[in-house]
Chains A and B, each alone.
Chain A
Amino acid sequence: MADFFIITNNEMVRDKYASQVTVEFHPVKYTEIMRMARDYIHAGHKLLTHPLAGSIKPNETPYKTIFLTKSKKTMDSESLRIIEECIIACKKFGKERFPNMPENMRQDFRTIDCSLCDNAMASAMQ
């Protein structure tokens, strides 16, 4: 079994990958997924994907998927540095641009996030 799991708020990622790998699905905000990943890193899990994967700005897309190692070791300072920088980067974008996002737009953002995830998956399964 591969040594990683996925945390996501994107149901498309969950539906696509839950049967193959561990997917922790939380119907929470983008920034909350970041915060959860940070707590996992603090606990010794290592970051496998860049938390700002994709060039879509944090206040544009509601969806976020992050890969972490299942195994815990001493805290990985590189993972920590990256997640902290990303959390800071999120803050400067301010309010969500589309709080009342129509479903078709959501579906598109889910698709893009899922596509980023597909690529991470290809690398993670190697």
Chain B
Amino acid sequence: MSKIRVVHYINQFFANIGGEEMADYKPELRVGEVVGPGMAFKAAFGDEAEIVATIVCGDSYFGENTKEATATIMEMIKGQKPDLFLAGPAFNAGRYGFACGNITKAVKDELGIPVLTGMYKENPGADYAKDVYIVSTKNSAAGMRDAVKKMAPLALKLAKGEEILSSAEEGYLPNGIRKNFFEKERGSKRAVDMLLKKLAGKEFVTEFPMPNFDRVDPNPAVKDMAHATIALVTSGGIVPKGNPDHIESSSASHYGKYDIEGVMDLTADTYETAHGGYDPVYANEDADRVLPVDVLRDLEKEGRIGKLHRYFYSTVGNGTAVASAKAFAEEFSKELKNDGVDAVILTST
């Protein structure tokens, strides 16, 4: 069998180009070269895989020009026809971690080849753990040996398409997919040990993290409401009659953007709800009961608000994954900002 072809991504620091002062270094492809941490991987891969090229990119450059950098790097990778794409490890370096997470996800999505990176669990880039395998490393480059020891075998497994065991066994950061495995101790012993740690105020790791939500700082108040543009957003599933975008009644995979220029009132003939999580009778009779267009038009006319934004955004918040909802909002929030919207009223059911 021929060797597994690996392309390795590292930053300017690990390529020995320089530190912060060289962080603007543009993507560079070094065919046939094994650089920095690549040496350790090469040793660990033995005869099974070879690093056919190394890509070096400055962390600031990647962070500030993510789109261009990704496109350039993608082309570099394509040309090498790799079986596996490896990035990092990034340890606790935040921008490097972001780059590793971002580029591995992009490669996985676009090229469909297995990818692997590694970083410290508190690295901001660790958010990508739900998208790609990220090996949990120590928080500094002193943990290189340990990181390579875990990453190299997992990389080979991924490249060969072998079954990936649980995060606890393979050493990757938990990705939300629950996998069974046998622990060293039985559950009751683990429970007693965990309690003793908790009682002593020591660090302990729960085996099942409870769902966790982000917190954001409140935005400042709207100073001049009479001249403000207000947009409506809803998770109550209000859509034009017939649900033109086919938003699902539960676990929605997308959202809709609808023009309400000239619409003064939502009526039973024109709007309805796509939401499957509540009795739709009332919303279908009068969608203003969920999305108060009629009242906002009045307030607009009276000058209480500057204007009602031309588009409203709608999805169904019924069993929809938090990650999806977050992705929707990230996308349309940018649009809202670009369109000069000052504030949003979000209605939910």
Contact = CB atoms under 8 A, between A and B. Distances in A.
B258 interface: no
B279 A42 contact: yes
A87 B276 CA distance: 12
A118 interface: no
A43 B279 CA distance: 9
Nearest to A40: B279
Nearest to B319: A88
Nearest to A36: B279
Interface residues of A, number: 8
A87 B250 CA distance: 11
Contacts of A42: 278-279
B279 A39 contact: yes
Contacts of A87: 319
A39 B319 contact: no
Interface in A21-70: 38-39, 42-43
A77 B278 CA distance: 14
Contacts of A84: 277
A73 interface: no
What 10 A-B pairs come out closest when comparing CB atoms? A39-B279, A42-B278, A88-B319, A42-B279, A39-B278, A91-B319, A38-B278, A38-B277, A87-B319, A43-B279
Nearest to A39: B279
Interface in B194-222: none
Nearest to A41: B278
B165 to A, nearest CB: 22
Interface string B276-291: 0111000000000000
B327 to A, nearest CB: 20
A91 B250 CA distance: 11
A35 to B, nearest CB: 9
Given A42-B278, A43-B279, 9 more contacts: A38-B277, A38-B278, A39-B278, A39-B279, A42-B279, A84-B277, A87-B319, A88-B319, A91-B319
Contacts of A43: 279
B257 to A, nearest CB: 27
B289 to A, nearest CB: 13
Contacts of B279: 39, 42-43
6 contacts: A38-B277, A39-B278, A42-B278, A43-B279, A88-B319, A91-B319
Interface string B13-44: 00000000000000000000000000000000
A87 B249 CA distance: 14
Contacts of B277: 38, 84
Contacts of B319: 87-88, 91
A40 to B, nearest CB: 9
Contacts of B278: 38-39, 42
A43 B281 CA distance: 12
A43 B349 CA distance: 12
A69 B143 CA distance: 60
B282 to A, nearest CB: 10
A43 B319 CA distance: 20
B285 to A, nearest CB: 15
A41 to B, nearest CB: 10
A84 B275 CA distance: 14
A38 B277 CA distance: 8
A84 B319 CA distance: 9
A23 to B, nearest CB: 21
Interface in B307-349: 319
A82 to B, nearest CB: 14
